[in-house]
Structure 1
Amino acid sequence: MDESMAAVLAAFIGVVGALGGTLTGAWMQRRATLEQIAAQERAERRGQLRADRSASYAEVMDASERFIASLDDIVAARKESAGSRGPTSEWGPLREESQASLRMLRRAIWNVRVAGPEDMADLAQGIYDVNMHRFRIAFGEALTFNEMDEQLNRRNAEFRQSRARFVVGAQRILGSGGPANQPVGTGT
């Protein structure tokens, strides 16, 4: 082999090596770009899920607070007519407001079921169940004011516990507090 052939062969090997390096570099750059895009999409989905969950959890708390306000109005109305048993016809608007807040809470629970996780929906359902009991007590036709007040006080403690469990679970899911390794259904 003469020197000119060796030079051509060396140049050819150099061109093939450069071309191979360029193609390999472009392939690696494309792969890294695709991985980066996929990671960004996953991060955006997680962010959207967190925002959806936060909104649905806040909706549960808002509906619950609305019910508390309506329940306070019922208790005040019953206190005014403490001598009578059960609700009067004048309490219709109060009953409607309480029922509307319970419907709002029920819709909020479905939003939590969609946003997840399921155990958070179960905790929200617990808030609803306690509030439904409180509603029935407040409009208990056979109860005097004092009987109603006593029963509501017992249920109020249950409500505070249910609400606290829900808040701890929401904080854990959203990463804004609460023990990180504690299951959602437990707590204070």
Structure 2
Amino acid sequence: MDATGVILAGGKSRRMGEDKRFLKVGEATLLERSIKAMAQVFSEVLVVIAQDSPPLEMTGCEVYRDLIADCGSLGGLYTGLTRASRSRIFAVACDMPFLNPDMIRWFLARDQEADIVMAKLEAGLQPLHAVYGKRALPYLQQMAEERRLKIQSIAAEPSLRVTIVYPSEWRTMDPMSRSFQNVNSPAELQAARAAASGTPLS
């Protein structure tokens, strides 16, 4: 696939209270699960960490520190898009335990001329688990400089070609949209572990 996979793994984990990159869901950590899924699609996978994050060494992928400090996921996205050798990236967070390689391929193929391909769920636009082209870089940089850190607001930029996709389009691949599920709290971690083991929550 002529794109780069980018995993944002900042390392802050404020809501979880511990570094969620290394929490296990099933037999692997959240970060390992993300890398495994992305490596099935991309020959180049990058992991982006915060400037003040402890060093991280991963097999089979390059690790980069944020080029712009203290901008959260937006800074990580900017860094991944800058460092990628391909003209497009597919960006995810490291705490998404149910990434689906078929879904990722579908997003990449959905509109190959678009600068951004982003999903809209009931909760709103989903800026991670999305495609970004290099043309988005100056807008991400401007957003960082202006401290407008909500990535999804880039979808309103009229100079970019943005394709918004909806659950009805991927229902056969991921009927419950689990690809977008992430783990921010102990309760969400428990739910993910239960789903991974096939055990219903009590």
Q: TM-score, normalized by length of structure 2?
A: 0.24
Larger proportion of helix: 1
* Larger Rg, first or second structure (1 or 2): 1
Between Structure 1 and Structure 2, the one with more strand by share is 2
So what's the TM-score if we normalise by structure 1?
A: 0.25
